[in-house]
């Protein structure tokens, strides 16, 4: 399965198109990642969203990208992107 970030004319305006617009409003700055701790789920990460306290975010670290919740002392230069959606199966 491939998710094309560019919308084809065929799905524009359809339910599928509107769902993609909701999940990926800014395709050029949005990345899909998977979480090692929740197999099967997909993280939607937008690099253009300004990070704020309390949000889930992906951080750049010397050991790679890490998922974290931003506390009051977060360093914005280390924020790779902000998690805007988590797509997962109901538990």
Partner 1 sequence: MGHPGAVLKPCADLLALCDCNNFFVSCERLFRPDLEGRPVVVLSSNDGVVISRSNEIKALGVKMGEPFFRVRSFLERHGAAVFSSNFRLYEEVSARVMASLRRFTPSMEVYSVDEAFLEIPPEGKKKPGEWALDVRAAVLRQTGIPVSVGAAPTKTAAKLAAERAKKRPETGGGFALLPGDPWEDLLGEVPVEDVWGIGRRWSDFLRRRGISTALRLRDAPDDRLEKYLGIRGLRTAWELRGIRCFPIEEREKPQKSIQSSRSFAVPVRDRESLAEAVTEFTLTAGRRLRSQNSLAGSLSVSISTSRFRGSFFGARAEVTLETPTDSDITLMRAAAGALSSIYREGHDYEKAEICLGSLSSAGTVQLRLFGKREDRGAALSRAADRLNGEAGRRLLLPAALLGEKEWHPRKDRHSGMGLEDLEKLPVISAEE
Q: Which residues bind partner 1 (CB under 8 A)?
A: 1-6, 26-29, 31-37, 42-43, 47-48, 58-68, 80
Q: Is 58 exposed, middle or buried (0-12, 13-18, 19+ CB in 10 A)?
A: buried
Integer Cα distance of 24 and 46 in angstroms: 8
Measured distance CA(31)–CA(45) in Å, rounded: 5
Question: How open is the CA angle 62-68-71, to the nearest 5 degrees?
Answer: 105
For the CB of residue 34, give the shortest distance to partner 1 in the complex, in Å. 5
| Smaller CB separation from partner 1, 18 or 34 | 34
Nearest approach in angstroms of CB 58 to partner 1 is: 6
CB of 14 to partner 1, least distance (A): 15
Closest CB to partner 1 among residues 34, 88: 34
């Amino acid at each position: 399965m491939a998710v094309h970030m560019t919308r084809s004319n065929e799905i524009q305006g359809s339910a599928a198109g509107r769902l993609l617009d909701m999940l990926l409003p800014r395709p050029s700055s949005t990345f899909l990642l998977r979480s090692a701790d929740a197999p099967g789920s997909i993280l939607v990460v937008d690099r253009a969203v300004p990070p704020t306290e309390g949000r889930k975010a992906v951080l750049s670290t010397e050991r790679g990208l890490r998922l974290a919740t931003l506390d009051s002392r977060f360093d914005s230069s280390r924020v790779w992107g902000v998690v805007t959606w988590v797509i997962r199966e109901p538990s």
